[in-house]
Chain A
Amino acid sequence: MPDAARAGQHDKPAAAPGGGLSMSGSGRELELRTSVFSADDLRRAHTRIAHEIVERNQGAEDLVLVGLYTRGVAIARRLASAIESFEGVDVPVGALDVAFYRDDIGLRPVQPLGTTEVPVDVGDRTVVLVDDVLFTGRTVRAALDALTELGRPRAVQLAVLVDRGHRELPIRADFVGKNLPTKLAEDVRVRLADVDGGDDGIELWGPAAGAGSAGAGRDGSYPERGASA
């Protein structure tokens, strides 16, 4: 299956409150609400996160950036090249597929998005997991299990472009591009030139005005901002 067709199955809530939350786009029409990040915003966020990673770890030695398929891998590469540019350290980048560790296998079609490739031994290194959107936390939970099979990292940190809230597990991000309060029925769409084509950008999509009444009651509340902020 091509990556494009596989994309979009990440981190959807396993079960919807009140039942019947559809995957994005399948149950109702979504329309563009706001543009969250432009290409420039995204570039600045990458740069800032890269600096924060180096600052937190007092350098970039013994780091490995491990992206989660599909966009996390591309973001990890960008962070690595940013770190290389200002710190002069070539941080190894890995790619992790978490499909076989998910907790919703058998409940929906769970297909791998790519092949796991981590070029270095993660033992005794600090691993920074990288993903585009942090939502329920279930993908990250699966990633922690997948990572453990590869070795025993000294520490694991998490970097995401967007934290949209609605956590279902006690997981938080160490590095966040933007905390974005969302409704469950909304969809955060990350577009990366090297994965999706077009220009970089992050958009918030929500139910179309006419169809909105159907889901208004159950999705009405905005969650608390991410605790990590």
Chain B
Amino acid sequence: MKHLLSIDDLGREGVDELCELAESFLEVTQRDIPKVPALRGKTVACVFYEDSTRTRLSFETAAKRLSADTMSFSVGSSSVAKGESLRDTVQTIEAMGIDAMVVRHRAAGAPNRVAGWIEASVVNAGDGRHEHPTQALLDTFTLRRHRGPSLDGARIAIVGDIRHSRVARSSTKAFAALGAKVTLVAPPTMLPESLAGWPAAVSCDLDAVLPEVDVVYLLRIQHERQDATLFPSLREYTTRFGLTVERAARLRDDVLVMHAGPMNRGVEIDPEVAEAPRSVITEQVANGVAVRMAVLYSLLGSGAPVA
């Protein structure tokens, strides 16, 4: 594997292999000295054209725990403010000597372009509304740890702004690749225009879907980005699509609750639900480091030497 740009690059086998590898790295992250020398001498650059806390820190932590050096770049404090193009910026960073570049960009497809411009391996850390493959891998890994290696027959509801969500797109593909049945739940305005490329069913009625699910995956309502036309008010969204205490009480005890973060407590999820034992939200974050270690190790550590 040279780049990780989309879940489509992996298929079931690739997702399985990375999750198995992540299992070894999870053990590493739980040690007193959570560090292995596997990527000594390699350099990983995090190039983020969009704000991020967890993804970026997660990648940096993953690289450091593999003993790689890290470089970090954010648009606010860079020459991008002086008008430097994406291509010039990434080629400049590569010229300093890097082995992998983790790219987040608001434009869908930007990491694919970057992969064509530089020799280093490129990891897509979220591109516009397109994909967020490492989030999908960590979600899959988290579910596998609770349910076993196959997700065959697992019923997963993904609830929220599906249309604008790269997480929903990548995770749906990854869950479906492992045999899960995914249902996308959202107001009609937040569903994709077409289901082409979405191996999933759809529903606009959360209460009808909840009795039939094993996992409820909540997406953040990006109210700061919206022009407020997708639904009348946050309160109305919560009333119809929020995982409230009252709704959570109707779930079977073994139903898991996931969230890609950051959470809007009281909007798509009630704080009590986020803290409940069935919630695996903080576990997702911890697993994210192990999964990103697996991705970086697969790109840089195993296989043929990167020329």
Instruction: Specify which of A97, A110, A114, A150 is in contact with B302 (CB 8 Å cutoff).
Output: A110
Instruction: Specify which of A1, A114, A145, A150 is in contact with B31 (CB 8 Å cutoff).
Output: A150
Chain A: CB-nearest residue to B37: A101
Do A112 and B36 have beta carbons less than 8 Å apart? no
Q: A106-B305, A117-B27, A149-B31 are in contact. Are A112 and B21 (CB under 8 A)?
A: yes
Q: Which residues of the partner chain A approach B301 to less than 8 Å between Cβ atoms? A: 105-106, 110
Within 8 A of B (CB), among A72-122: 97, 99-101, 105-112, 114-117
Chain B: CB-nearest residue to A98: B36
Q: Which residues of the partner chain A approach B35 to less than 8 Å between Cβ atoms? A: 149
Of B24, B33, B306, most buried by chain A (CB within 10 Å of CB) is B24
Do A101 and B36 have beta carbons less than 8 Å apart? yes
Chain A 149-173, CB within 8 Å of chain B: the 1/0 string?
A: 1100000000000000000000000
State the CA gap A150–B34 with chains docked (Å): 10
State the CA gap A1–B303 with chains docked (Å): 15
Chain B 46-82, CB within 8 Å of chain A: the 1/0 string?
A: 0000000000000000000010000000000000000
State the CA gap A57–B172 with chains docked (Å): 56
State the CA gap A111–B18 with chains docked (Å): 11
Do B36 and A100 have beta carbons less than 8 Å apart? yes
State the CA gap A112–B105 with chains docked (Å): 33
State the CA gap A145–B301 with chains docked (Å): 18
- What's the nearest-Cβ distance from chain B to residue A145, in Å? 7
State the CA gap A115–B20 with chains docked (Å): 10
Within 8 A of A (CB), among B122-141: none
- What's the nearest-Cβ distance from chain A to residue B297, in Å? 8
Do A105 and B24 have beta carbons less than 8 Å apart? no
State the CA gap A226–B301 with chains docked (Å): 33
Do A109 and B302 have beta carbons less than 8 Å apart? yes
Instruction: Specify which of A101, A105, A107, A115 is in contact with B23 (CB 8 Å cutoff).
Output: A115
State the CA gap A114–B26 with chains docked (Å): 12
State the CA gap A110–B66 with chains docked (Å): 14
Q: Which residues of the partner chain B approach A110 to less than 8 Å between Cβ atoms? A: 301-302
Of B32, B33, B303, most buried by chain A (CB within 10 Å of CB) is B303
Q: A105-B38, A149-B33, A149-B35 are in contact. Are A112 and B303 (CB under 8 A)?
A: no
B219 within 8 A of A: no
B283 within 8 A of A: no
State the CA gap A8–B301 with chains docked (Å): 19
B236 within 8 A of A: no
Chain A 11-40, CB within 8 Å of chain B: the 1/0 string?
A: 000000000000000000000000000000
Do A112 and B37 have beta carbons less than 8 Å apart? no
- What's the nearest-Cβ distance from chain A to residue B3, in Å? 17
B28 within 8 A of A: yes
B17 within 8 A of A: yes
B300 within 8 A of A: yes
- What's the nearest-Cβ distance from chain A to residue B40, in Å? 9
Do A106 and B27 have beta carbons less than 8 Å apart? no
Do B24 and A112 have beta carbons less than 8 Å apart? yes
Q: Which residues of the partner chain B approach A115 to less than 8 Å between Cβ atoms? A: 23-24, 27
Q: Which residues of the partner chain A approach B303 to less than 8 Å between Cβ atoms? A: 106, 108-109
Q: A99-B38, A108-B303, A114-B24 are in contact. List 20 more A-B contacts (CB 8 A).
A: A1-B17, A99-B24, A100-B24, A100-B28, A105-B38, A105-B301, A105-B302, A106-B303, A109-B302, A110-B301, A110-B302, A111-B302, A112-B21, A112-B24, A115-B23, A115-B24, A116-B27, A116-B28, A149-B36, A150-B32
What are 14 pairs between A and B in contact, CB < 8 Å?
A1-B20, A100-B28, A100-B37, A100-B297, A101-B36, A105-B38, A106-B300, A106-B303, A106-B306, A110-B301, A112-B24, A117-B27, A146-B36, A149-B36
Closest 3 pairs between A and B when the two form their complex, measured CB to CB: A100-B36, A100-B38, A112-B24
